[in-house]
Amino acid sequence: MRKLAVLVIALLVAGCWQTRTRLYRDDVGVQPFAAGAVVETGPDRKQTHYALTRLPKGRYRLTETDKGQDFGQGFELGLFPLPGAPSRVLIYQAAALDHPASEDWTRYHGLLVITGPKSAREIRPDCARDARAARVSGTVAGKDGACIFATRAALEKSLLALWKSHKAAEYRWVLR
């Protein structure tokens, strides 16, 4: 069963935008939301429930609360301003809770657009579909199909290009 879970996670993140280091290690993130319950609705209209907890250095812990095999799993989440974008557009950096402090563990990146005091939309970049924005910084897909950014400047340049491309958000967050 554990091997199946690893395979499913690998398929879900294939094609994403990631780094192998903590680009925002010493930065204090912004915390636009209070701690509480989060309902995420995906493109298939399926809802996933999470608990959002505030952590030091402006970080969050986002933990799944739905009963099932992913119960208790989640991410350490940091939100940071995207230079050149409106203040409501934030970069997210997410690290799996079982490896958040490890320096060489993968971090996933995308955009969180604040739409209200208790709501946001998430834009998850895909390396193949969003290749044009990734190439703005000279980044191309690695052997696993993901775009792996070597520097913070490259990531931010490509995320800004992604924002300017008007890619629609596929995920909606509502805080309860």
Grouping H, G, I as helix, E, B as strand and the rest as coil, residue 101 is: coil
pLDDT, tens only, 66-97? 999 889 999 999 999 999 999 999 999 999 88
Tokens of 173: 């967050």
Query: Is pLDDT at 2 greater than 90 in this prediction?
Result: no
pLDDT confidence bin for 101, thresholds 50/70/90: low
Q: For the chain, give me the number of helices (H) and strands (E)?
A: 3, 10
**Does the pLDDT at position 9 exceed 50?**
no
Instruction: Give the pLDDT confidence score for residue 147 in this predicted structure.
Output: 95
Phi and psi at 14, nearest 5°, equal -60, 130
What is the reported pTM?
0.88
What's the mean per-residue pLDDT of the chain? 89
Q: Where are the domains of the chain?
A: 2-175
Q: What mean pLDDT do residues 102-106 have? A: 67
pLDDT score of 88 = 98
Structure confidence at residue 99 as a pLDDT band (50, 70, 90): low
